[in-house]
Structure 1
């Protein structure tokens, strides 16, 4: 059996490696990781526990690469993320892409597989991606880009990531299709999507839930008591609900829960209208965060005791006054859960910053999802050894790749790479 040698840069806890190895084994190839690199010590520890060796540290201190066939790299996404500062290559982390290219020059592999956040696709109006394309193509590689959603690969998570693929001296036609999937986890429709993905399973959040997780994941009694009052004893109404203070829709807010002091029905009505109406163009061109005067508030909340209600909301710190205008107090008030997943739908994208605050109502328990459930959302097998610190596992899973997607991508790249490699060898013989 032929052995495929690969390198795992910015390897994290080993998600790219796991997906690649699954793909190779499904095609009857053995694998050998000849070098891995990861700067985070917590991720290094998990990697060692699962793969038997500790990755090298900072990529900038690696002089050259050993001989290998495939290069995997989930290079840092903060520089390109919608949630980040969008600094791109002006950010030190962004320049780490060029460190990959420096190492590629020391030993060119047959193929490249890169993963990053979807924001890279449109960053700087496409100029960042064009720079990456130029650097890859000038070294003789093909350049293919796909936006892939984990929900299309038998995982119940609405997670879109960009995959950049390159094969040396080839012009492959991959069988992958860019697809952003559902607009959000609520509009997910399996029947519609399955028409385009006949091999997809109808996988939902319910499929990754543990039967009897530790009681430490239960929400606090006081938190549950307030939620029970709001949903009138029907906890299933929590499915798909956000707990957030700057959005309306299917949301629960701090003033409805009384987290900073109980609010009257009038106060709740005013706050709910405030966050809805402040988006109106008549109050300014800013999409979010518009401050409103008393007169503007009165235009949609006519009440004989408006001044008293505003004064009460300011005193309870649900509103603050800035330059004579009213503004909701920022922050999420440390909700124990910021989103309740719907067991019959797919999950929102899990991210490092708050994967530990995704909730679920399951088997008569109001709780947070467990670290193992977070791992399952990313396609990690239950045999995968997680970090002993739950919060570090949540963080690592939010930063990781979806194993199923990597496997599908790697199957394509391995098949096409070896095909073109054999073709070139035959031409040499002729």
Structure 2
């Protein structure tokens, strides 16, 4: 399959898709400090160096999918969080517009966890709605790279969409349930001291380890407010794009606590505190050693590595997309929304309004359901030993606010909800199926999370 890459950076997302068997035929990256690195490591991909704001659908070759992660600074919880008030934040809209115009079979979008924070969640939902209106079934999830054999805690939001004509949805890769990859395993064999740089021009003559360069600039008060050292038997902190915020090498002991907003390097061990090198960061991001980074300013090296999607995680996502595309077109089984009703009042209001609602987003008790997907055929409500099965209207669930639901007689406790319509308030029976035989999924943190399954699996 052929894909086009946007906000390509050095090409971490691209590399993962290539490792999964895709052909990245075209990529767009505007930052000239990255061009040399991308072209060296992706020699078979045409690199478009134009500003994405100037691109039209006709500039992009025909392909099966779009991949890319718009700039994250506008949404990051560590920044000013200006969202769409920042021109970088509006690049998200430019990417969506190109998806609308070109209409690839699928797309993937990556961004930081801050985009689903309370401050930006409505904007995030508007992005999903825009993609759904453009003709896509859209799924999203928050993934931690550490769950996929990548040696760092790195939480990122991924959005995957498939064009509705394919009549399918996407399942995100499940955590691999393997032991975490520790710093010892990831970088323990790099025992040589790194080359040290601050504002000097980086020497591109490499010894055994390419890009084994470390930034020596000062540590500011914000950095010193928290411990920045993870030990050899742990995973790393998130690899960031700013050199000054790079985690410290695990050779150093944990920083000494002084006050809630101050740590210091442990006395007599100050010489052990150094930032991870660019190559060590690349290892932690799961880049292979043959992947070379070209820069004359060391800060550009850290930027390229820190902004990248870990290739190993990208490969997991790419393989799941491929599997989803392969299975689309198979006959769909009748879906069931399995959900809990709190009390008799909620059940009574549900039947009176022929409407059931669930939390949306990543809140506790929320339902993860693709935007643009039609409602399952059935709704199975349960409470203790009571179980009721209803037929639902097969249309896209609507989003309603707590105030709108309260006006209908419900008593919601959150903000926004997905709502499903019932065809009838009468409980139904399916011949040969006994509701008493259903075994529900275990509760998470004492909460019965609603979920969608199919009728065969529910009664198997």
TM-score over 0.5 (shorter chain): yes
The structure with the largest strand share of the pair is 2
The counterpart of 1:108, out of the listed 77, 94, 103, is 103
Change over 3 Å in CA distance of 1:60–1:175 after alignment to 2: closer
Report what 1:387 is aligned to: 294
Report what 2:191 is aligned to: 212
1:81 aligns with 2:72: no
Question: Cα offset for 1:338?
Answer: 7.0
**What aligned pairs does 1:262-273 form with structure 2 within 5 A after superposition?**
none
Contact 2:141–2:172 (CA under 8 A) maintained in structure 1: no
Structure 2: where are the runs of 5+ without partners?
A: 199-217, 253-268, 333-460
Report what 1:342 is aligned to: 231
Structure 1 distance, partners of 2:222, 2:115, is 31
Structure 2 distance, partners of 1:128, 1:47, is 31
What is the number of equivalent residue pairs in this alignment?
286
- Aligned residue for 2:62, secondary structure, equals coil
Structure 2 distance, partners of 1:174, 1:207, is 30
Report what 1:361 is aligned to: 251
1:55 aligns with 2:48: yes
Structure 2 distance, partners of 1:84, 1:136, is 26
Report what 2:335 is aligned to: none
Cα deviation, 1:73-93, whole Å, max 9, x if unaligned, reads: 111111111012212122211
Structure 1 distance, partners of 2:39, 2:121, is 37
Change over 3 Å in CA distance of 1:391–1:167 after alignment to 2: same
The counterpart of 2:181, out of the listed 172, 192, 203, is 203
Structure 2 distance, partners of 1:331, 1:15, is 29
TM-score, structure 1 as length reference = 0.61
Structure 1: where are the runs of 5+ without partners?
A: 26-30, 178-195, 220-258, 260-329, 425-430
Report what 1:168 is aligned to: 163
The counterpart of 1:416, out of the listed 287, 299, 324, is 324
Contact 1:355–1:395 (CA under 8 A) maintained in structure 2: no
TM-score, structure 2 as length reference = 0.57
Change over 3 Å in CA distance of 1:421–1:382 after alignment to 2: farther
**What aligned pairs does 1:194-343 form with structure 2 within 5 A after superposition?**
197-198=176-177, 200-209=178-187, 210-217=189-196, 331-332=220-221, 339-343=228-232
Cα deviation, 1:183-217, whole Å, max 9, x if unaligned, reads: xxxxxxxxxxxxx743x244101112243323535
Q: Compare relative contact order (CA 8 Å, sep 6+) and give the higher one, 1 or 2.
A: 1
Question: Cα offset for 1:360?
Answer: 2.8
Report what 1:13 is aligned to: 10
Contact 2:236–2:247 (CA under 8 A) maintained in structure 1: no
Contact 2:143–2:158 (CA under 8 A) maintained in structure 1: yes
Question: Cα offset for 1:105?
Answer: 2.9
The structure with the largest helix share of the pair is 1
Report what 1:139 is aligned to: 134
1:97 aligns with 2:89: no
Change over 3 Å in CA distance of 1:397–1:10 after alignment to 2: same
Change over 3 Å in CA distance of 1:333–1:16 after alignment to 2: closer
Structure 1 distance, partners of 2:124, 2:84, is 11
Contact 1:45–1:54 (CA under 8 A) maintained in structure 2: no
